[in-house]
Structure 1
Amino acid sequence: MGFPRFERPKGLDGESSPNLYVANCGPAVGLSFDTIASVFSTFGEVNGVYAADESGTRVIVSYIEESSAQTALKALNRRPCPDLGGRFLHIQYSIMQLPKQVNTNDSIPVSLVASELNIPGLHLWHDFVTATEEEELLAAVDDRPWKSLAKRRVQHYGYEFLYETRNINTRESMGELPSFISPILERISLISNLDNAANIVLDQVTVNEYPSGVGLSPHIDTHSAFEGLIFSLSLAGPCIMEFRRYSEGVSLPKPDSITDNQVENPNSSSNFIRRAIYLPPRSMLLLSGEARYAWLHYIPHHKIDLVKDSAIRRGSRRVSFTFRKVRTGPCKCEFPQHCDSQS
């Protein structure tokens, strides 16, 4: 699957666009997307910065307002930019188009904030960690051994998650959680709008590394395995996460029985409600209450996601840290139809 395509506007030479094609700018010349976004945001709210191609030296800067793009082009085109290493930028207007390989027939609106989804118990915090902390966390796990699954790699801390049973063995502790995640645990305990966040002792962590295009089958984390707060920190690359709530009386499909085609074409069933949210790098997602116990969550197998009419390419990898509390007794939640302890 290729990169999103970008074209000059058709029509009069003076026609503009909220998207700017910026050459001599990108990771290959030592400029991160965050740095580029920071500089261009001085001219208006930036919707996103995307790779224009595989060169690493050309990007698309997408603004919310067309006037912001006009101001930025006038200020920066063919001039040295001190905040970008003094590089001369070559800028022109661009129209972002989805590549032909992207099938949007089954797409649904993707929200940027959790409140838009109307799923009780779902929360999302942007920039939960800094870019420096992100680099340190990635370096820490890359220094440790990975376990290879069919399409991704994993690490487990505290207790190993057993994919065969979708559960854990509470009698086989792997020891204390590593010190490099202690700052994250402390930050979770300081979340002010969650009454029990400060009291829960998270004791199990699973680190997943997803290569570009690899997703996750729809599932609900086993009720009897973990307590009611599940935190997921996204690092390195973005993705969208979708949620399904099945109608009463409908049997939930088993994750291993769902094919990629069913995941990518979920509109074929009218037995569930769908929601979707965009997870940017360094964001923290919380599943609690109904969101944790009654909604299936999954990551579509895409290399490019459609978010607010923009094509966002996933990174070469996405690494997630999932923090959970191991349950020591049966689950007594309010959703017995989804609960293995009560079924």
Structure 2
Amino acid sequence: MMNECRSTRFISSSSSSPNLYVANCGPSVGISMDQIQLAFSKFGEVKSVCAADQSGARVVVSFSKEISAKAALEAFDGKPCPYLSDRILHIRYSSILQTSSSSSSSQSQVNGFLSVVSLEASELQIPGIYLLKDFVTSKEEEELLSAVDCRLWKNLAKRRVQHYGYEFMYETRNVNTKHHLGELPSFLSPILKKISSFFPNIIVDQLTVNEYPPGVGLSPHIDTHSAFEGFIFSLSLTGPCIMEFRRYSQGSWIPPDKKGENLQVIKKALFLPPRSMLLLSGEARYAWHHYIPHHKGDAVRGDIIKRASRRVSFTFRKVRNGPCCCEFPQYCDSQSN
């Protein structure tokens, strides 16, 4: 009954199907395949339950009949599932993608859910993305964490944050340029010097520090074009994670959310080790959504790497003082309605 679907791949479908793609569900979020089968079998015979990708948090449930899949989708999509600890599932129809046996397993899928995690930014083949490993030493990491832990945290729904230079306003996805919080603090000087040594002409004046507990990630987004300039630096401390990158066919700086819309999406994933600095620039910064999956473990080249008890990121940016005039107007809030 259960299998890993190694020879079968699935794509999203706007029309009904006996197959359902189910997100926020799987072993890495504490739900076994047997539990999933039992919950969905209440609507009819379940032929198989298999991993949709390597994350362990997304599965494909295949019914014998379309009517069973329809009933399950209507009952569970976007609602607490009473049979799976009231977890809220996100479901859409899926159909089988026919692939040749010579297809490379390292290729990113369009509209697919198999995503091979890259260890080097160059493997992604996304212009403008760079990963600098061991950007800080273990001692520098301890000093940075000690410095922020001595300061006041602001609690959000699932994580804590600190803002320096300018405060990021989550309601508008922007900053208030008229409210300057002051210069970046002195404990950041070693990091700023290292950034300048790699990029002498780059000046940053805004920092957001995020603390992620286990299982908490980041929703897909493009940093607002009108808010920040073209270079974004993100330093990962204390724990590893996977960051996904997505590019949608229709182009939007906010991810599309229309149910049943058959949008093409290219997905790629990169492993971020502790003490590494990620740089997003050009196309990677302006046209690709980035996202940290919400689960407690990441599948990387056949191994499950558990998230640490906390992960802290330092995201450095330069506040923009005018409209954006980038080469990606379809993703730009300054150039589109």
- Give structure 2 stretches of 5+ with no counterpart: 1-54, 60-112
Equivalent residue number for residue 130 of structure 2 = 123
Secondary structure at the aligned position of 2:183 is classed as coil
- The alignment yields a C-alpha RMSD, in angstroms, of 1.9
Equivalent residue number for residue 293 of structure 2 = 300
Equivalent residue number for residue 289 of structure 1 = 282
Matched, 1:272 2:265: yes
Q: 2:316 aligns with which of 295, 310, 323?
A: 323
Matched, 1:154 2:161: yes
Contact 2:222–2:253 at 8 Å: present in 1 too?
no
Letter matched to residue 142 of structure 2: E
Aligned-pair CA distance for 1:314: 0.4
Tell me: CA distance 1:340–1:278, structure 2 relative to 1, closer, same or farther (3 Å): same
Equivalent residue number for residue 228 of structure 1 = 230
Same amino acid, percent of matched pairs: 69
Aligned-pair CA distance for 1:252: 2.9
Aligned-pair CA distance for 1:302: 1.2
Letter matched to residue 252 of structure 1: S
Equivalent residue number for residue 189 of structure 1 = 196
Q: For 1:163-242, what aligned pairs fall within 5 Å after superposition? A: 163-191=170-198, 197-242=199-244
Secondary structure at the aligned position of 2:333 is classed as coil
Once residues 194 and 268 of structure 2 are traced to their aligned partners in structure 1, the CA distance between those partners, rounded to angstroms, is: 28
Letter matched to residue 122 of structure 2: S
Aligned-pair CA distance for 1:107: 4.3
TM-score (norm 2): 0.65
Aligned-pair CA distance for 1:103: 4.2
Aligned-pair CA distance for 1:246: 1.4
Tell me: CA distance 1:110–1:188, structure 2 relative to 1, closer, same or farther (3 Å): same
Once residues 251 and 295 of structure 1 are traced to their aligned partners in structure 2, the CA distance between those partners, rounded to angstroms, is: 9
Structure 1 residue ranges, 4+ long, deviating more than 2 angstroms after superposition = 101-107, 251-255
Tell me: CA distance 1:288–1:246, structure 2 relative to 1, closer, same or farther (3 Å): same
Aligned-pair CA distance for 1:104: 6.1
Once residues 205 and 262 of structure 2 are traced to their aligned partners in structure 1, the CA distance between those partners, rounded to angstroms, is: 37
Provide the aligned length of Structure 1 versus Structure 2: 228
Once residues 246 and 176 of structure 1 are traced to their aligned partners in structure 2, the CA distance between those partners, rounded to angstroms, is: 37
Letter matched to residue 302 of structure 1: H
Matched, 1:310 2:264: no
Once residues 203 and 132 of structure 2 are traced to their aligned partners in structure 1, the CA distance between those partners, rounded to angstroms, is: 20
Once residues 198 and 269 of structure 1 are traced to their aligned partners in structure 2, the CA distance between those partners, rounded to angstroms, is: 44
Once residues 152 and 109 of structure 1 are traced to their aligned partners in structure 2, the CA distance between those partners, rounded to angstroms, is: 27
- Give structure 1 stretches of 5+ with no counterpart: 1-100, 192-196, 263-267
Equivalent residue number for residue 56 of structure 2 = 102
Aligned-pair CA distance for 1:182: 0.9
Letter matched to residue 329 of structure 2: P
Once residues 212 and 56 of structure 2 are traced to their aligned partners in structure 1, the CA distance between those partners, rounded to angstroms, is: 19
Aligned-pair CA distance for 1:272: 1.1
Matched, 1:111 2:115: no
Once residues 242 and 271 of structure 2 are traced to their aligned partners in structure 1, the CA distance between those partners, rounded to angstroms, is: 4
Once residues 107 and 210 of structure 1 are traced to their aligned partners in structure 2, the CA distance between those partners, rounded to angstroms, is: 25
Once residues 263 and 325 of structure 2 are traced to their aligned partners in structure 1, the CA distance between those partners, rounded to angstroms, is: 29
Once residues 276 and 300 of structure 2 are traced to their aligned partners in structure 1, the CA distance between those partners, rounded to angstroms, is: 16
Letter matched to residue 311 of structure 1: I
Equivalent residue number for residue 334 of structure 1 = 327
Once residues 132 and 253 of structure 2 are traced to their aligned partners in structure 1, the CA distance between those partners, rounded to angstroms, is: 30
Contact 1:158–1:174 at 8 Å: present in 2 too?
yes
Letter matched to residue 292 of structure 1: R
Contact 1:245–1:274 at 8 Å: present in 2 too?
yes
Contact 1:156–1:206 at 8 Å: present in 2 too?
yes
Aligned-pair CA distance for 1:102: 3.2
Contact 2:253–2:332 at 8 Å: present in 1 too?
no
Letter matched to residue 254 of structure 1: I
Contact 2:57–2:295 at 8 Å: present in 1 too?
no
Once residues 319 and 199 of structure 1 are traced to their aligned partners in structure 2, the CA distance between those partners, rounded to angstroms, is: 27
Once residues 276 and 201 of structure 1 are traced to their aligned partners in structure 2, the CA distance between those partners, rounded to angstroms, is: 28
Once residues 121 and 276 of structure 1 are traced to their aligned partners in structure 2, the CA distance between those partners, rounded to angstroms, is: 15
Once residues 127 and 317 of structure 2 are traced to their aligned partners in structure 1, the CA distance between those partners, rounded to angstroms, is: 19
Once residues 258 and 213 of structure 1 are traced to their aligned partners in structure 2, the CA distance between those partners, rounded to angstroms, is: 23
TM-score (norm 1): 0.64
Contact 2:253–2:289 at 8 Å: present in 1 too?
no
Once residues 311 and 302 of structure 2 are traced to their aligned partners in structure 1, the CA distance between those partners, rounded to angstroms, is: 22
Secondary structure at the aligned position of 1:120 is classed as coil
Once residues 262 and 297 of structure 2 are traced to their aligned partners in structure 1, the CA distance between those partners, rounded to angstroms, is: 24
Once residues 241 and 290 of structure 1 are traced to their aligned partners in structure 2, the CA distance between those partners, rounded to angstroms, is: 16
